[in-house]
Structure 1
Amino acid sequence: MATSDKMTSMDAVTVDNYIGGAWMPPTAGRRVPSINPARRNEAVGLVPDSDLNDLNQAVSAANEARRAWRKMTGAQRGALLFKAADLLESRMDEIGRAMTREMGKTLPEAKGETARGAAILRYYAGEGMRPVGDVIPSTDAEALMYTTRVPLGVVGVISPWNFPVAIPVWKMAPALIYGNAVVWKPAAETAVTAALVMACFAEAGFPAGVVNMVIGDGPVIGQGIAEHPGIHGVTFTGSNAVGKKVGQTVLARGAKYQLEMGGKNPIIVAADADLDLAVDATISGGLRSTGQKCTATSRVIVVSDVYESFKAKLLEKVGVLRVGDGLNAETWLGPCASEKQYDTVRRYIRKGTEEGAVLLTGGDAPNDPALKDGFFVTPAVFDRVTPSMTIAREEIFGPVLALIEASDLGEAIELANDTEYGLSASLYTRDLRNVLTFVEELEAGLVRVNAETAGVELQAPFGGMKNSSSHSREQGQAAIEFYTSVKTVFIKP
């Protein structure tokens, strides 16, 4: 695949893989364009369409480097993470702008994500000086028994396009601080951003082969990582269909895997809720980043007593949201990240109306002629959604809110749990009894009270229940559980 004759590519950068401490073109020489979703005829970059030869080189380099890397002290490894954090932070404007051009989120969001990446690196840099084991009393009075942790070896990182800085960084930083080497496959849609992130690791002085990046198609490079005998653990964030295939493949060869997949996240609005705060949280949690977050609010479950009042306030505020190019300072909501995602969102909107939901606002292209060449969708709000409808059951990953009415909090929690997913959920209420009931009964890995469903703090464990994850946890000190193995040591004179 190459850029079309009509595509503007004069400003497009050429991106290489990063293997064994060097920037390398793809072995077969193939490249594909990374497209600006705000202007479909503009290529942001030309990125590698790598094959298994490139992947094999990266895995070989990682295995060669990992033995010396694991022997370095945690403080030495942490010092390099601190340097990478400083570089990432110093290039926040450049990386943020590239991210906005590649996947559409607004520039403030993109810069904020980059700053978060730097904070994650600093957090894990400090992990190099924290305890990694325990002394355990032995039944033998002459013996010393303790536990320590050892790295897996080479970790394959498969990251998505919606958070092209934060997600790969929160995977790579713990992998590295705990002594693993990394082979990273970023999403091709945001490979220019990925290359800027990788440059920070390269310039920080990580030894050659410790951090590698191979850009290519998921079925080739992603599946190749899952299958590769030289990769000892795989961490994946993406769709359920792909995640399950990755997990099955890695399990079959006896390696370790970690999956973070989809969500159908509910916000519950109780009868005593502050409706203005609940509306703001619904809009921010459901529509920022064009709804392209795994923790985005998708189902809005409102108790009957306040249903109509909440709906009126929601429509009033959604109606003034500004859709446009994420580089425009006045834009609140950018485009869908790609034509494929745009088509998916529009298909779900059609499905909603076909199944009988009432489309109250949005769901179409904006009227502004300046936006005709982008993948823009105005934020959609559906009324009278029933639990069996497709838009109430499947992850849309777009700016679509489904309003569902509940008779009381008990029914609202039942509706919230009526899903194959269990990633994030939120409740708005003033009643402590409601809070305790919600926290106890809601089947999700992240529950938030009087806060939006979207939002993860880097120092706290993150992961889902049901089909949202492999039941492992990312971020915080919980990350050590995946990236290391426990070794029990028994010593007797």
Structure 2
Amino acid sequence: MELQYRIGAEWAPGEHGDWAEDTSPSDVREVLARYRLMSRSQVDRAMDAAIEAFPGWKAASPVARAAVLSKAAALLRQRRDEHARVVARENGKTLAEATVEVEKSADFLDFYAATARMPSGGLIADARPGTRGLAMTEPVGVIAMITPWNDPMLTPARKLGPALVSGCTVVLKPARETPLAADLLVRALVEAGLPAGVLNTVIADHATFDAAVIAHPRLAGVTFTGSTAVGLGLSRKLAGRTVRLQTEMGGKNATVVLADADLDLAASTLAAAAFGQAGQRCTATSRVIVEETVHDALLERLRAAAGALRLGASLDPGTQLGPVVSRRQQAEVLAHIDKARAHGGRIELGGGQPDGEAYAHGCFVQPTIVTGVTADMPLWREEVFGPVLAIRRVASFDEAVAAVNDSDYGLSAALFTSSLRHAQRFLDAADTGQVGINLPTSGWDVHQPFGGFKESGSPFKEQGVEGLRFYTRTKMAAIRFDW
């Protein structure tokens, strides 16, 4: 099939450059779609459509906006199995993981639809006689959304829910590796009655997108999920302007396992948190900090849990660990593992590509556990975004907390312990936006605020009621009614 883009009220194919292929990471010979990038004139039209649609969408009742989101959520649920197969084939995650993604995408739309009936703004006392103050909440304007390939439907839904219910209009730029998942979401919203121009899609080269969208004087905000390098680059591009920026960037999430922890619970949880979605989650556990007295016992359990995972094609019902998203990502993950070997890390499990014809044409990486890791090794510092887990010994709780916080990132952290005292101290001391006790670093729900500290993200949170703040502004009004 040929991918088309939503521009105003139309669907149109790209006009620029050579054809690109959207292939399955389970077998790169399988072509799911073909597409060309958009031309500068097409991107200009998409941005113009969003600008033109804004006054009408802003004026629409929040309840009417919410009705579109609710209907789109119902459409996603009706087509859950069909859409999940597309997500699994395109991204490489297992069919079970893809099914959850479609369900969560619908949940985001439903949650934000419900917020339309919540109080907004309110009366504020005014000292002047016969005068009342009123705080009014209104949408900020046109939003550029840049979304990644690892959750190709869920992340756009997480952003579109609050943006659309608030009254903003959108230019959405999905990842080139996974354009079909975002397309399914956009088509559901259009079918649900979203007015022309409120949501437009763009895939263009970086220079064209920057010139036509990021540099546009009518742009009100940019919300981005992806690498820290790109997120910080966006911050530099927007410097000196009043354009809002929301970033959800990299992570190097750590889990601490103390000597008093339930090691069976810790190991099974860690295996899921590290290797689910082939480790391609911003909240995946990539560092384990374990008290030295239980290091070997935990390692034995981790090897057993990770070694039992069945690696395979995304649509195989027995698959528990799918491929990474692309050949390029596969090469990058394998390079991290090779670098860890070169720096003295010990490969306790995995460490390469699986053998056999079943894996020859896919982007597979074995679940990998590395021990003997020190604080100065690249594997401990750099985000891998693959099924690789680094383990480091420490002597005490205080040393473990210091190791958690000794990172440029601050997205998520977890602690396994039976000590209420250590649990409370960890909640206070962990310098991360998300903290769990006897839970994985991943797995936050749609109504819970989400986002990291330091180089993991901007101050604007996503999800929950907090996620509305980025897309709205407060106007203060005063009315004199007695003269």
TM bracket, shorter-chain basis: over 0.9
Which residue number in structure 2 is paired with residue 353 of structure 1? 341
Q: Answer whether contact 2:224 2:246 (CA < 8 A) is retained.
A: yes
* Corresponding residue SS for 2:451: coil
Match of 2:458 among 470, 476, 484: 470
Q: For the residues of structure 2 that align with 1:114 and 1:389, how far apart are their CA atoms?
A: 37
Q: For the residues of structure 2 that align with 1:216 and 1:277, how far apart are their CA atoms?
A: 46
Q: Answer whether contact 2:16 2:36 (CA < 8 A) is retained.
A: no
**What is the number of equivalent residue pairs in this alignment?**
481
Q: Check 1:223–1:309 CA distance in 2 against 1; reply closer, same or farther (3 A cut).
A: farther
Q: Answer whether contact 2:323 2:364 (CA < 8 A) is retained.
A: yes
The Cα offsets for residues 109-164 of structure 1, whole Å up to 9 and x where unpaired, read as: 00110000001100001111111113222222421012111111111110000001
* Corresponding residue SS for 1:162: coil
Match of 2:161 among 149, 173, 178: 173
The Cα offsets for residues 157-195 of structure 1, whole Å up to 9 and x where unpaired, read as: 100000011111110110000001111000011111221
The Cα offsets for residues 446-482 of structure 1, whole Å up to 9 and x where unpaired, read as: 0011110011111011111000001210111011211
Q: Is 1:318 paired with 2:290?
A: no
The alpha carbon displacement at 1:48 in A equals 3.2
Q: Is 1:415 paired with 2:415?
A: no
The alpha carbon displacement at 1:225 in A equals 2.9
* Corresponding residue SS for 1:201: helix
Which residue number in structure 2 is paired with residue 53 of structure 1? 41
Q: Check 1:30–1:58 CA distance in 2 against 1; reply closer, same or farther (3 A cut).
A: farther
Q: For the residues of structure 2 that align with 1:274 and 1:223, how far apart are their CA atoms?
A: 54
RMSD (CA atoms) = 1.3
Which residue number in structure 2 is paired with residue 192 of structure 1? 180
The Cα offsets for residues 303-327 of structure 1, whole Å up to 9 and x where unpaired, read as: 1121110011111111111111010
Q: TM-score, length-normalised on structure 1? A: 0.95
The alpha carbon displacement at 1:218 in A equals 4.3
Q: For the residues of structure 1 that align with 2:162 and 2:19, how far apart are their CA atoms?
A: 31
Q: Is 1:102 paired with 2:96?
A: no
The Cα offsets for residues 267-294 of structure 1, whole Å up to 9 and x where unpaired, read as: 0101111111111111111110000000
Match of 2:364 among 344, 354, 376: 376
* 1:16-415 map, 5 Å: 16-28=4-16, 30-221=18-209, 224-415=212-403
The alpha carbon displacement at 1:361 in A equals 1.1
- The letter for the 1-side match of 2:202 is V
Q: For the residues of structure 1 that align with 2:3 and 2:382, how far apart are their CA atoms?
A: 35
Q: For the residues of structure 1 that align with 2:353 and 2:212, how far apart are their CA atoms?
A: 38
- Structure 2, unmatched stretches of 5+, are none
- The letter for the 2-side match of 1:421 is Y
Q: Answer whether contact 1:81 1:122 (CA < 8 A) is retained.
A: yes
- The letter for the 2-side match of 1:57 is R
Q: TM-score, length-normalised on structure 2? A: 0.97
* Corresponding residue SS for 2:354: coil
* Corresponding residue SS for 1:77: helix
The alpha carbon displacement at 1:224 in A equals 4.4
The alpha carbon displacement at 1:412 in A equals 0.5
Q: Check 1:333–1:218 CA distance in 2 against 1; reply closer, same or farther (3 A cut).
A: farther
Q: Check 1:173–1:267 CA distance in 2 against 1; reply closer, same or farther (3 A cut).
A: same
* Corresponding residue SS for 1:101: helix
Q: Answer whether contact 1:132 1:148 (CA < 8 A) is retained.
A: yes
Q: For the residues of structure 2 that align with 1:226 and 1:29, how far apart are their CA atoms?
A: 21
